[in-house]
Every structure is written in structure tokens, then in C-alpha cells.
Amino acid sequence: MSILEVKNIKYKYNKFDESSKYALDDISFSIDEKDFVAIIGESGSGKSTLISHLNGLYKAYSGEILFKGVNIYSNDFNLTDLRFKCGIVFQYPEYQLFSETVIDDVAFGAMKKGLSKDEAYKKSVEVLKLLGIEHLKDEAPFNLSGGEKRKVAFAGVFVMDPDILIFDEPDAGLDPVSKDQFYELIKSLNNKFGTTIIYITHNLDDVIEYANKVIVLNEGKIVKTGKPFEILTDKEVMTKANLEMPYAVSIYYEVLKKGYEIDKTKLKFDELLNSLINLK
Ligand SMILES: Nc1ncnc2c1ncn2[C@@H]1O[C@H](COP(=O)(O)OP(=O)(O)O)[C@@H](O)[C@H]1O
Ligand SMILES: [Mg+2]
């Protein structure tokens, strides 16, 4: 079932300038429960603007967004509630940590949702445990490493029990090990709780590894949506979106060029390695 349906939304930042371009121009797509969706596109293509619509932070000029079948722009829709159900972790969220200790920061998120102080702290410890950072609970956020800070900021959103988790470039500025850990963490939450994941990234090899659906944007329009292998091996789409093919896809095409057959649908690292070993 669709958890989110975006129908023909349009948005521009400067509404008084008739000649200005739409930052989002007739965007439509749908997302199912438990999906792991990557939004890709070059800088300025509208990715961040798009996700800010998904929890009602920005309001589209026209079009509709349905959350679990209900139009979020209808008069009686509870937008505050949507912000909890559809949690956004913005780019470099660690800059927004402000409390003296990690646990205080996370509990602040829980109290916003209306939990009592006791409940909020109890819940925050559970979430820190789940994210593998319980040992940091009494640390001052500014003493932590980049990867740890990002997990704490993420905990502050996850503590609100969102049905959908949205990340704006969760991998930006993380070292390769922290980046992989972070993706594995998101994947485990997706598996364990069925949390729908939507994330923006420039790292297309990781898209093959983790996403089950991809949305490609260019100049505020959707170029294509589909499965990672469908999108990333589509030369026309990649050219149109000004994106470079990930390594896995380059390898795929090189192998084809050498006259071998290889399964296009299996481009994850392990799958590709297997295909290469078994080339005949
Ligand atoms: N606050 C803003 N005011 C005016 N224009 C903006 C603002 N934020 C983004 N834009 C413009 O909207 C377009 C889409 O930007 P954005 O959604 O940030 O793209 P992306 O996240 O893909 O890099 C760009 O042309 C950008 O310059
Ligand atoms: Mg952006």
C-alpha cells in the first residue's frame, strides 16, 4: 500500500516573479510502506525542496500530497502530527545539537511529541541503545566524532517514532567507515520496524547497495523513477540528469563490451563479484 503519494506538485521560491523557474515542476510519484527510496540528481535539481514538502514544511502551489491516503492540504489534516510521523533529518544535523548532554538532546525531541519528562528519558535511552550509542548518553555532544554526532541528531528524530524517515544527504562529510555504519543502521531499522526510508544522496554505488526505488530529478522535474538497476544503467536518463554512472554500472558495461553476458539486475557488490567469478 502507498504510504505517500505525491501528485503533480509545483513550487517556486519567488512567487511574485512570474518569469522565475519552478523549483519543483509537476512532480508525481508514490512510495510504498517499507520502501527504501533514493532521490538523486545534480545540485540545484530540487531534491531538498522536494523533501521539505513531504512533511508539510513547504506547501506546494498546486497538486496534492496524500499521506496514507489523506490529502495533507485538506483543512482538517493535522500537520503537526505529520511532522512526527514523517521525520526529516536535515543535512549536517549535528549543527543543531544544543543540549549539554546527548540524552538531554534526544529527550527534547521526545518531549516535543508530548511525552512526560520521565517517559521521554526512558524512551531516549531505548533509542540510544537501539542505535548502539547508549554509552554516549552523558557525553557533551560537541566532544563526539562526526559520525557519533550525526547518530545523536538522528536519535532525536527517531525517538518520535516516525513511520517515514527522510534524510538529506546522510553520508555527506562522513568517513567511509562511518558512512557504511550509518547506512547499515538505517537498513536495520527498515528491516526491523518496517520504517519507510527516503534519502538524498550523490553516492550512486550505495544506491545500488541499499535502495529498492530511485527517483531522478533534473531542473525540478522527474526524469524517471524505477528500480536502481533500471535507472542507473539507463544511459539516456543518466545523461539527461548530468549524473555519472556508478562503478558497478561501468563494470557491467565493460563486461558487455568484452562480449560476455551478465545479469543486469544483480549489481550489488557481492552479486556483481559472483557474476564476474562465474563469467564464461
Ligand atoms: N531558500 C531558497 N530561496 C530561493 N531559491 C532557492 C532556495 N533554496 C533553493 N533554491 C533554488 O531552488 C532550486 C532547487 O534547490 P534545492 O532543492 O536546494 O536543490 P538540491 O537539493 O537538489 O541541490 C535551485 O535552483 C536553488 O537555487
Ligand atoms: Mg540539497
Share of the chain above pLDDT 70, in %: 100
> Cα of 129 to ligand 1 centre, how many Å?
36
- Please say if the pLDDT value at position 75 is more than 90: yes
How many independent structural domains does the chain possess? 1
Beta strands in the chain (DSSP E): 2-11, 24-32, 36-40, 62-67, 70-71, 86-89, 164-168, 196-200, 213-218, 221-226
Mean pLDDT computed over every residue of the chain? 94
Cα distance between residue 135 and residue 133, in whole Å: 5
Phi, psi of 165 (to 5 degrees): -115, 125
Ligand nearest to the CA of 217: 1
Backbone angle region of 114, left / alpha / beta, with phi > 0 → left and psi within -120 to 50 → alpha: left
Residue 158 lies in a domain: yes
Residue 22 has pLDDT above 90, yes or no: yes
**Domain range for 132:** 33-53+78-228
| Residue 87 placed within a domain | yes
- Within a domain: 109: yes
Residue 224 lies in a domain: yes
Would you say residue 261 lies in a domain?
no
Among the atoms of ligand 1, which is closest to the Cα of residue 50? 17
| pLDDT higher than threshold 90 for residue 19 | no
Q: Given pLDDT bands bounded at 50, 70 and 90, which one contains residue 216? A: very high
pLDDT value, residue 256: 95
Mutate to test the pocket of ligand 1, among 20, 21, 24, 49 (most ligand atoms within 8 A of CB): 49
| CB of 106 shorter than 6 A to ligand 1 | no
Q: Is residue 69 part of a domain?
A: no
Read off φ and ψ for residue 7, nearest 5 degrees: -125, 110
pLDDT, tens digit (0-9, with 9 covering 90-100), for 83-130 = 999 999 998 888 888 899 999 999 998 998 889 999 999 999 999 999
Q: Is 172 inside a domain boundary?
A: yes
- 136-179 tens-digit pLDDT: 999 999 899 888 999 999 999 999 999 999 999 999 988 898 89
**b (16+ CB within 10 A) / e for 243-278:** bebbebbebbeebeeeeeebeeeebbeeebeebeee
Which residues are paired to 4 by β-bridges? 31, 67
Residue 146 belongs to a domain with what CATH number? 3.40.50.300
Is 242 within the bounds of a domain?
no
- Helix, strand or coil for residue 89? strand
